[in-house]
Amino acid sequence: MESHSMMAIQAALQGQVAFCKFLSANDTGKTGGHQAGIYISKASSPILFNEPGNKGQNKEKWVKIKWQNDFETDTRFIYYGQGTRNEYRITNFGSGFPFLHTDYTGALFVFVKNTEDDYQGFILNTDEEINKFLDAFGLSPTETNKLIETTRPDPEIHEKLAIEQFIDGLSVEFPTSEEMSVAARSIHNQVYNHQELIRSNPDKQLLDWTATEFRLFRALEYVRYDKMFTNGFSSVDAFINAANQVLNRRKSRAGKSLEHHLSAIFDGNNVQYKAQAITEGNKKPDFIFPSQEAYHDLTFPTEEIVSLAAKTTCKDRWRQVINEADRLRDHNKYLCTLQRGISAKQMDEMQAEKVILVVPKPYIPSFPEDRRDRIWTIGRFVQYIKKLENR
């Protein structure tokens, strides 16, 4: 279920005006007394009234407030201007209203104006919820009791909101690896709007998508497993079984994630390829360009056929690439990896076997300096394929 803090953040971002303050004892402890209701500072009164109150007369307005995205109250805004009073309050919450008692003193009250008579209210009563909200808008606890500048949030908070919404909408414990990758790309593109990088900078796009998927997966793990590990296990075997389940799912997702995002890069550049093509026997390179049919058509020029393996790490497994396509045994074979750094000796062995590393450009400095010129970037590989296919 989506947390109240994330609901409040989303409401504040989407509303016309937003306000927050810590509830004082005066706000929560005196129900029905002379000062009943939540006090709103004069500087923040525009969230209540379009015009300030005039000293010497009271002013009021009735609105609907939806609390915690759950229930509504018909509530009054009032300006007390008569006598010695000169203050704004929110009053009349109805019988059974749960938040105006001493247990909620010190809670963070978040108030959002959607329209002239439609509002949302949230009460955040744990340190985690409070800090999550304040951090989203770059506020310290001393910067509350005022209107919120909602243009300040870092894009990361939009990403967190999108991730929570995705997880909240799931009907399965864990989606497939492909569904996770699609969701990560959708979230990243929605938040950062950098789809043009598929063509202009595929190296960065690949890394950004991969990082977003990692955060998405870890957020889902937290939701699914946090209580299990926090509450403990009945035996060591139960703990080991649960831990193995988590680790195996991580390994499986990581291995497929790179393939899925590379496919999206190739699709975005309109190149032809076949993922998991069958070459000889049961051999299946991760990618064959331009197609499986071209590979098996002996009249198709061998120099225009390319194989690409995708391995998150390849320190020990790179030799598998050598025998994945017999037709290309004497030609260059390409290996895309997210591993940072491989020894000079292994790079020399790769060169002897005609294996060319394809690595995101920011990772290249982690390889031996005198051998970096052998490494291709994602962008260079994509342009090479496009040129072969006349794209």
33: helix, strand or coil: coil
Q: Please state, in angstroms and rounded to a whole number, the distance separating the CA atoms of residues 294 and 259.
A: 21
Beta bridge partners of 124: 108
Nearest to 138 by CA among 152, 122, 127: 152
Catalytic residue, candidates 273, 295, 334, 363: 295
Nearest to 364 by CA among 335, 385, 332, 339: 339
- What are the two backbone dihedrals, phi and then psi, of residue 44, each rounded to the nearest 5 degrees? -100, 5
Nearest to 289 by CA among 277, 305, 267, 275: 305
Q: Please state, in angstroms and rounded to a whole number, the distance separating the CA atoms of residues 375 and 355.
A: 10
- What are the two backbone dihedrals, phi and then psi, of residue 228, each rounded to the nearest 5 degrees? -60, -45
Question: Do 109 and 21 touch, CB atoms closer than 8 A?
Answer: yes
Q: Please state, in angstroms and rounded to a whole number, the distance separating the CA atoms of residues 183 and 194.
A: 15
Q: Please state, in angstroms and rounded to a whole number, the distance separating the CA atoms of residues 344 and 350.
A: 10
Q: Please state, in angstroms and rounded to a whole number, the distance separating the CA atoms of residues 304 and 269.
A: 18
Six-digit token string for 317: 């497994």
- For the question of residue 295 being annotated catalytic, the response is yes
- What are the two backbone dihedrals, phi and then psi, of residue 89, each rounded to the nearest 5 degrees? -145, 155
- The set of catalytic residues is 295
